[in-house]
Structure 1
Amino acid sequence: MFFRRLAKDAWISFGDRMKSDSRIRYGALAAISGGVSTCYVFSSSNLVYLDQPNEDGAPKVALNPDKWIEFKLQDKVQASHNSQLFRFSFDPSAKLGLDVASCIITRAPMGQNAEGKTKYVIRPYTPISDPNAKGYFDLLIKVYPEGKMSQHFASLKPGDVVEVKGPIEKLRYSPNMKKHIGMIAGGTGITPMLQIIDAILKNPDDNTQVSLLYANVSPDDILLKKKLDVLAASNPNLKIFYTVDNPTKDWLGGKGYISKDMVVKGLPSPSDDTLILVCGPPGLMKHISGDKAKDRSQGQLTGILKELGYTEDMVYKF
């Protein structure tokens, strides 16, 4: 099955043909978890179903930012030693309604609280399916031993449903908004980066240069590497540098944490025409840019980027 063959490479675009213009055009594959903390709510918020028609006659959009909607799992496959690929289906005449760059929020019941109300675990994920695709979206999720939501996803079987709300806008991307975008991602923090890369490379009128530094524990932990390698080889405006903490003997990329030298050599210099995007685990965020504020605003810029002369208006933290 095409979907299952996809998991071996974890990048093939579902149902979309590869086309070439002045640069490669393609449909994106998947989604992986975003770098946002899990939170809990105690609620029985309204739940709506996708088959409800639009009263105003507008084009059908699957997502609703104010209502939890059930999406059915169509299929899932193992994509790597600790990640799984999930395809969720909905009305084939509707689009998901996802913007670049934005995420969805998922929730799953986790027992009851002291008042007898359902307790939910809530987790954001960033789809990287083609925003124009109809009838499905894909999630590539790293399954953690202690991850309540990722373990819930791993337990799902085809036909089961997940409740979703969104989209939740992060960075409003527009073509050519900057001449050069630098990206620093750690682990599953590749999600919003890939969403923006896809949007840039499939638009022949977008001339944005993109440079990505992608850090992982080991070569086996690099999600979507084959897709990223194909995109970099096919698009001269995309440059990628990988670094890992535990390299294998045949590893040819960087070794260790992202350093000042890697940033200087791999990313655009501080400039009004430069934007640096950062997403990853707390340790990486602290090292590179400082984490967001407690209220999830951008917070103060610190770390390597501050030391190298970047300013707060040149950096966006996912």
Structure 2
Amino acid sequence: MAMFLKRLATAAPISFGGQTVSRSRLRFGALAAISGGISSYYFFSSPDLVYLDQLNEDATPKVALNSEKWIEFKLQDKAQASHNSQLFRFSFDPNVKLGLDVASCIVTRAPNGQNAEGKTKYVIRPCTQKVKMSQHFASLKPGDVVEVKGPIEKFRYRPNMKKHIGMIAGGSGITPMLQIIDAILKNPDDHTQVSLLYGNVSPDDILFKKKLDALSASNPNLKIYYTVDNPTKDWLGGKGYISKDMVVKGLPGPSDDTLIL
């Protein structure tokens, strides 16, 4: 599922429109369309699209997202995150909050022709290379809009809820893990230890590796182990799929004080 990437630290800035920009200074939401997601898709028609300037002005606090209605976000810019992944940066009113909690996600949709009644059909799909949603995102230009609904809360993180959190991620699945990691490390009162097993096809497919390495080097509570299916000759990390042995050695054992994501 496509994810808003938020609360990313200043390490490993990404170049947007030829300019290198640290995300901590951006007044935009960042919507990542990344290949490798797996899910089902479905078609439907809906009249409940709402423009941001039509939202209830009395709502407090004001937020850009709406979990009940489709909201249009305008593409500000996009940047290459890896050889097969891109980050899409969408603008919204800087006077409102994005409204996306840590580890929450959003749903996007795109027009897909008309049904038998002449109503517009929409395809909702995670961003994988050979499906219509990825093709739609690849065709987007600055100024184009995308319809978004959310947030969808999958997991609510609370500081120090566990002493040790273990994470298993593959490919673009790093995005919710990175949100939690960043929230933990940016809170000086949060002493949670984090161990991450992160698998990818090749070293070039590892998203945000420079950022993850920088966070790990500067935070003793964060341990990261990478593994890839197709290692290069100079690769020093793990080889192959994440295995039982990697899990036993790299993640905390079962306990009331541990959590595995």
What TM-score range do you get, normalising by the shorter chain? 0.7 to 0.9
CA distance in 2, matches of 1:88, 1:167: 16
Cα gap change, 1:231 to 1:4, in 2 (>3 Å): closer
Deviation at 1:226, TM superposition (A): 0.7
- 1:67 and 2:69 matched: yes
List alignment gaps of at least 5 residues for structure 1: 17-27, 125-141, 278-318
Whether the 8 Å CA contact 2:33–2:88 is kept in 1: the answer is no
SS of residue paired to 1:51: helix
- 1:77 and 2:79 matched: yes
Residue type matched to 1:13 in 2?
R
Q: Corresponding residue for 2:105?
A: 103
**How does the TM-score come out when normalised to structure 2?**
0.86
CA distance in 1, matches of 2:156, 2:15: 33
1:105-144 CA distance string (max 9 Å, x none): 10001112233222211136xxxxxxxxxxxxxxxxx651
CA distance in 1, matches of 2:146, 2:50: 12
1:55-107 CA distance string (max 9 Å, x none): 43523200011110000000112222111121100111111101122101100
Cα gap change, 1:226 to 1:155, in 2 (>3 Å): same
Q: Corresponding residue for 2:143?
A: 159
Equivalences for residues 149-298 of structure 1 within 5 A = 149-277=133-261
CA distance in 1, matches of 2:70, 2:151: 11
List alignment gaps of at least 5 residues for structure 2: 1-11
SS of residue paired to 1:158: coil
Whether the 8 Å CA contact 1:178–1:275 is kept in 2: the answer is yes
1:212-256 CA distance string (max 9 Å, x none): 000000000101111111111111110000000000000000000
- 1:41 and 2:51 matched: no
Deviation at 1:147, TM superposition (A): 2.2
SS of residue paired to 2:25: coil
CA distance in 2, matches of 1:40, 1:274: 36
**How does the TM-score come out when normalised to structure 1?**
0.72
Deviation at 1:6, TM superposition (A): 6.1
CA distance in 1, matches of 2:49, 2:15: 34
SS of residue paired to 2:15: helix
Deviation at 1:42, TM superposition (A): 1.5
Whether the 8 Å CA contact 2:30–2:90 is kept in 1: the answer is no
Residue type matched to 2:180 in 1?
I
SS of residue paired to 1:5: strand
Residue type matched to 2:247 in 1?
V
CA distance in 2, matches of 1:204, 1:87: 29
Coordinate RMSD, CA, aligned = 2.5
CA distance in 2, matches of 1:212, 1:11: 27
Whether the 8 Å CA contact 1:180–1:275 is kept in 2: the answer is yes
Deviation at 1:5, TM superposition (A): 2.5
CA distance in 2, matches of 1:6, 1:201: 26
CA distance in 1, matches of 2:196, 2:16: 23
CA distance in 2, matches of 1:272, 1:71: 42
How many residues are paired up? 246
Residue type matched to 1:202 in 2?
K
1:158-211 CA distance string (max 9 Å, x none): 000000000000001111111100000011111111111111111111111000
